[in-house]
Amino acid sequence: MRTLHDDLGASLTLPDPTRVVSLVPSLTEAIATSAPGVLVGATEWCTHPADLDVPRFGGTKNPDVDGIVATAPDLVVMNEEENKPEHVAALREAGIPVWVTDIRTVDGALASLDRLLDALSAPERGWLQDARAAWERLPAPTARRRAVVPIWRRPWMALGADTYAGDVLRRLGVDNVLADAEERYPRIDLDDIQRRGVDLVVLPDEPYRFTADDGPEAFGEVPSALVDGRHLTWYGPAMTQAPTALAEQLDTLVSGGTR
């Protein structure tokens, strides 16, 4: 048995876990890749690896707590942002150990993933070294752009302060004009965004699936970049390809047209 601490400082006394439920899609991919066979449950939104065949326990915001408890996992992996504190509390009250991650930067993601994989005694960790190397060799941007990063419409919402995706973009030379917002994902007024001097709109394909025909037209003549939401927001194996893929997508612009 080992006594370990998750990202929020909670103390857990664990064996080497052999039955793990992950309630975070990106962490599900990381665990399945690094510790094959330990996952005994995930969410409906855990789409990677594509061949992952485990029971599904609802979504990140509405997990089937009773179903998870009945599965008797050694550990449930959750995230401070993706999951709700009341579900963390309910699982712990049922005697299930819960590991909560808190990831807001690229460096923070690499460190958090390293701790989690240590807790799992995960044997297959080469991708984590590759991810670290990919971000370390990323060249410094030669120019910077000011962008808004919508994540939803009806109502319009965007990246705000203190987000992993915001740090990813910053490293690629894109400054989020809402980085000083009071919320991490504020509602936005499109006229206010125009007044902030935005010269780029970054439109990911998740959680809302923006496309060339759904999103750019709302921002007038400001050009838009359609990007892979997994590369932008998933911390895990997707980090190995994210710097190169996103750099290419950010330089491939579509016209906004008339709002």
Residues 6+ positions from 131 with CB-CB distance below 8 Å: 110, 237, 239, 240
For residue 194, what pLDDT is reported?
82
Question: Looking at the DSSP assignment, which residues form a beta bridge with residue 13?
Answer: 3
Domain residue ranges in the chain: 2-134, 143-254
Question: What's the topology of domain 2-134?
Answer: Rossmann fold (3.40.50)
Query: What mean pLDDT is predicted for residues 22-30?
Result: 98
Confidence of residue 73 (pLDDT cuts 50, 70, 90): very high
* Mean pLDDT to the nearest integer, 56-72: 98
pLDDT of residue 66: 98
pLDDT over 60 at 43, yes or no: yes
**Lookup: tokens for 15:** 């064996």
Report yes or no: 7 and 101 within 8 Å, Cβ to Cβ: yes
Give the integer Cα–Cα distance in Å for 162 and 157: 15
Mean pLDDT rounded to a whole number for the chain? 95
Distance, in Å, from the CA atom of 174 to the CA atom of 195, rounded to the nearest integer, reads 18
**Alpha carbon distances (Å) from 11 to 74, 92, 119, 123:** 15, 12, 12, 23
Per-residue pLDDT tens for 127-169? Answer: 999 999 999 999 999 999 999 999 999 999 999 999 999 999 9
What is the spatial distance between Cα 81 and Cα 60, in angstroms, rounded to a whole number?
10
CATH match of 143-254 with 3.30.70.870: no
pLDDT for residue 193: 87
DSSP state of 212: T
What is the pLDDT at residue 3?
94
141 to 8, 172, 243: CA distances (angstroms): 33, 6, 12
Residue 1 is predicted with a pLDDT of 84
Quote the CA–CA distance of 114 and 39 in Å, as a whole number.
Answer: 18
For the segment 162-210, what is each residue's pLDDT rounded down to a tens digit?
A: 999 999 999 999 999 999 999 999 999 998 888 888 999 999 999 999 9
Percent share of the chain, pLDDT over 70: 98
CA distance readout (Å), 12 to 31, 39, 135: 18, 19, 31
pLDDT digits (tens, 9 = 90+) for 79-113: 999 999 999 999 999 999 999 999 999 999 999 99
> Cα–chain-centroid distance for residue 204?
12
| Identical fold between 2-134 and 143-254 | yes
